[in-house]
Amino acid sequence: MFSTLPATLVFLMMMAGLFVPLEAFFPARSTKPSRRAMAMGAGLLVLNTLLMQWLGVPVLSALGAVVTAPATRSLGVMVFVFVAADLVGYFIHRAMHRVPFLWRFHKLHHEATELSWLDAWRQHPVDFVLHGIAVGVPGALLGASLSDLASVVVLRKAFTTFLHANVKVSFGLVLASPVFHGVHHSADPRDYDTNFAGTFPLWDVLFATEHERHRRLVEEPRPDGPAVLVPEGEGTASQPEDQVLAGARLEPQHH
Ligand SMILES: [Zn+2]
Ligand SMILES: [Zn+2]
């Protein structure tokens, strides 16, 4: 198997090459993440990927061996595995918010104050490995190979990196987006425990956790920097700038 560390560093450089210019030229908010926050994201990216390799992969291989499903590799199966992984990812994410023991690990992800692409990787190792194993289970049960599962994980993480980028992009309810996921990170208690989906907002709609706030965000021009996205009718005059879509969630109200 290819070496995980060099592959992780190449992935990190590719993500930086894509998102650093995008955030520089099309920012949704004028705030910038601290160097400390960026270093934490990059460090956790490397650490968590290695831990997934050492802990998560053996668990998924053992599961695949027990089930002894015939090896399957067709586009249809891979699409099904990707969609099933996203559904499982939705529920494990909800559990992270609902179960106090799990929230203890997940809250690190929500402590980011100026959301940026590297915050996708700001995950406690327990959060990262549990999530990684959970989303790999449907594929392992269906007999997907480890390399196919790895492709699904890399694709998911690349998309998650995009979800945290400080860019003005929304796809409504078709696909998750930085605007959609930004509501999940909002410091406003009205937004808590909403928009859990990693790829398909459909899960939030089906299970009644979608917050419609991301659907009616409007641009509000600011004299001192780029326009920011705020909910219609709620100007930044009444709410601190950037709290709306990228504030740290300091009070975990997961009940
Ligand atoms: Zn969360
Ligand atoms: Zn997030």
Dump pLDDT digits (tens) for 3-43.
678 888 999 999 999 999 999 998 888 888 889 999 999 99
Ligand at shortest distance from the CA of 94:
1
What would the pLDDT profile of 134-161 be if each residue is shown by its tens digit?
999 998 888 888 888 888 888 898 999 9
205 CA to middle of ligand 1, Å? 17
For ligand 1, the distance from its centroid to the CA atom of residue 92, given in whole angstroms, is 10
Distance 187 CA to ligand 2 centre (A): 13
Measured in angstroms, how far is the CA atom of residue 30 from the centroid of ligand 1? 23
* 218 alpha carbon – ligand 1 mean position (Å): 24
Give SS3 for 116: coil
Taking the C-alpha atoms of residue 45 and residue 39, their distance in angstroms, rounded to an integer, is: 10
Distance from Cα 46 to the centre of ligand 1, integer Å: 21
- Show the tokens assigned to 165: 């980028």
CA 145 to ligand 2 center in whole angstroms: 28
> What residues of the chain score a pLDDT lower than 50?
1-2, 226-227, 235-244, 250-255
pLDDT for 221 equals: 52
How far, in Å, is the centroid of ligand 1 from the Cα of 71?
34
> 237: CA distance to ligand 2 center in Å?
26
Cα angle: 125, vertex 123, 201; to 5 degrees? 125
Q: How many whole angstroms from 13 Cα to the centroid of ligand 1?
A: 25
Q: What is the value of pTM for the model shown?
A: 0.83
pLDDT (0 to 100) of residue 230: 57
Distance in Å, CA 109 to ligand 2 centroid: 6
| pLDDT value for 65 | 80
Encode 59-115 in three state secondary structure.
HHHHHHHHHCCCCCCCHHHHHHHHHHHHHHHHHHHHHHHHCHHHHHHHCCHHHCCCC
Cα(69) to centroid of ligand 1, in Å?
Answer: 33
Output the CA 7–ligand 1 centroid distance in Å: 27
Residues in contact with 156: Cβ distance below 8 Å, sequence separation at least 6, in sequence order: 82, 85, 86, 89, 135, 198, 199
Measured between alpha carbons, how far is residue 217 from residues 26, 101, 172, 236, 239 in Å? 16, 34, 11, 12, 14
Question: What pLDDT is recorded for position 15?
Answer: 94
Residue partners of 229: CB distance under 8 A and separation at least 6: 28, 29, 168, 179, 182, 217, 218, 219, 220, 244, 245
Ligand nearest to the CA of 119: 2
Tokens representing residue 243 in the block: 């709290």
For β-strands 225-231 and 217-222, DSSP reports them as antiparallel
pLDDT score at 117: 95
Q: CB within 8 A of 209, min separation 6: which ones? A: 94, 193, 194, 195, 196, 203
H/E run at residue 133: helix 125-141
Which residue(s) pair with 229 in the sheet? 219
